[in-house]
Amino acid sequence: MRGFQAYIDGAFTEGEARFASLDPATGEAWAQMPEAREADVDRAVRAADRALREGEWPRLTASARGKLLYRLTDLVAENAQALAELETRDTGKIIRETSAQIAYVAEYYRYYAGLADKIEGAVLPIDKPDMEVWTRREPIGVVAAIVPWNSQLFLAAVKIGPALAAGCTLVVKASEDGPAPLLHFARLVHEAGFPAGVVNVLTGFGPSCGSALTRHPLVAHVAFTGGPETARHVVRGSADNLASTSLELGGKSPFLVFADADLDSAANAQVAAIFAATGQSCVAGSRLIVERSVKERFLAILKEKAERVAIGAPLDMGTEVGPLCTRRQRDHIQALVDRSTAAGARVLAGGRVPEGPGHYYPPTILDCDGTSAPALAEEFFGPVLSVVSFETEGEALALANDTAFGLASGVFTASLTRAHRLIRGIRAGVVWVNTYRAVSPIAPFGGTKLSGHGREGGLAAALDYTRTKTVWLRTSDDPIPDPFVMR
Look over the chain and give the mean of its residue pLDDT values, rounded to a whole number: 96
**Residue 451: its pLDDT value, please?**
96
248 given a catalytic annotation: yes
Amino acid of residue 49: D
pTM for the predicted model, two decimal places: 0.95
Does 275 score more than 90 pLDDT? yes
Q: Using one digit for the tens of pLDDT, what is the confidence trace for 189-208?
A: 999 999 999 999 999 998 89
Contact 287, 255 (CB under 8 A): yes
Tell me which of 168, 282, 325, 368 is the catalytic residue.
Answer: 282
**Residue 236: its pLDDT value, please?**
93
Does 485 score more than 90 pLDDT? no
**Residue 125: its pLDDT value, please?**
97
Residue 5: name the closest of 160, 184, 164 by CA.
Answer: 184
Tell me which of 85, 97, 176, 248 is the catalytic residue.
Answer: 248
Helix axes 152-165, 95-115, angle to 10 degrees: 10
282 given a catalytic annotation: yes
Separation of alpha carbons 295 and 405, rounded Å: 24
**Residue 30: its pLDDT value, please?**
96
> What integer is the mean pLDDT of 273-299?
96
Domain boundaries, the chain: 2-249+447-472, 254-433
Are 2-249+447-472 and 254-433 equal in CATH topology?
Answer: no
Contact 168, 142 (CB under 8 A): yes
Pairing state between β 254-257 and 287-291: parallel
Would you say domain 254-433 falls under CATH 3.40.309.10? Answer: yes
Q: Using one digit for the tens of pLDDT, what is the confidence trace for 53-74?
A: 999 999 999 999 999 999 999 9
CATH class of segment(s) 2-249+447-472: alpha beta
